[in-house]
Amino acid sequence: MNLKVSTPTKVVKPSRRTFIDFIREQPLGFIGLIMIITMFFAAIFAPEVAPYNPEDVDFEASPALGGGQPSWEHPLGADAFGRDILSRLIYGARTALSIGFFSAMLGCTLGAIIGTTSAYFGGKVDLIIQRLIDLMLSFPIVILAIVVIAIFPKTVVVGIDINVIIAIAIPFTPKVARVIRSQALTIVTLPYIDAAKAAGYSSSRIIFRHILPNVSAPFLIMLTAFIGQAILLEASLSFLGLGVVEPTPSWGLMLSGVNSDYYRTAAWMIIYPGLAVSIAVFSFNLLGDSLRDWLDPKLKL
């Protein structure tokens, strides 16, 4: 009688992917990350990088007096008040990135909490929350942001307009809540959630310690993408006169006001701020799409 001895199968442990793997698998995302790091570097070290103070006025360089053209003195030209455009672009990165990051973080965090709460409790709680989300999603983002600005009083803390941050964060909240809820609905049915309930853990502990950490991948993806959208929305609000006010450097402000009157004779005052906004949004979109492709296992099937 022949006996076959089965050899034990070797268990292959999944390898951890590193930052080098991200660079190799997502080269476009790495390019976007490099551009984002460059913008953050310019924003942090703006006093050392910028050739002029962004609020210094040189009337001789004003286009109204026939000056302002790009030159060795002003590489990107000067605006209607004779202020150096390159310096205002560099300092404007501080405004764009700070408002973009804090508003996206606030909106995504609130959306994640609301989405997981809705999925965890279900029933009437889920029904009421989802109908409120549908109501918020029915408003265009800019209109909803304008409504929030009209409701909340203007508050400036450490040079950052809290009112604008809240106005940008609230339109992002329902979008994040809807996506996180769809992910959390699967998690709340897993056995370890039932075990946590049986152990007597509170609902807040289960939500914050057992559900939220497991939706970190879509949260990170949406956070990265929404920073770019927040930068664009901040520029739009500033262009309409509802965001950052003068003399604070802002890419949206540089596209509006007196500068917009010179779009024929001094096009550089419009082109360079527009390019700054476009590059910033494009960089964050590249990084967000690459993180989605890298972190979402469903896209690898």
Summarize pLDDT for 61-94 with one digit per residue, the tens: 777 666 667 788 888 888 878 888 888 999 989 8
- The residue ranking higher by pLDDT, 200 or 114, is 114
**pLDDT band, very low/low/confident/very high, at 189 (cuts 50, 70, 90):** confident
CB contact at 8 A, 74 and 60:
no
Q: Is residue 18 part of a domain?
A: no
In a domain? residue 72? no
State pLDDT tens for residues 205-252: 888 888 888 888 888 888 888 998 898 888 888 888 787 777 788 888
Question: Does any domain span residue 271?
Answer: yes
Asked if 83 contacts 101 with a C-beta cutoff of 8 angstroms, the reply is: no
What's the rounded Cα separation, in Å, for the pair 253 and 18?
A: 40
Q: In which band, very low, low, confident or very high, does the pLDDT at 131 lie, cut at 50, 70 and 90? A: very high
Q: Is residue 258 in a domain?
A: yes
Could you tell me which of 161, 298, 175 has the C-alpha nearest to residue 229? 175
Domain count, the chain: 1
**Nearest one of 301, 292, 207, 298 to 25, comparing CA atoms:** 292
- The reply to whether 156 falls in a domain is yes
Using only C-alpha atoms, what is the Rg of the chain?
25
Kindly state whether residue 121 falls inside one of the protein's structural domains: yes
CATH code, domain with 166:
1.10.3720.10
Q: Which of 110, 144, 143 is nearest to 129 (CA)?
A: 110
Q: What are phi and psi of 26, to 5 degrees?
A: -130, 75
Q: Residue 261 is part of which domain span?
A: 78-300
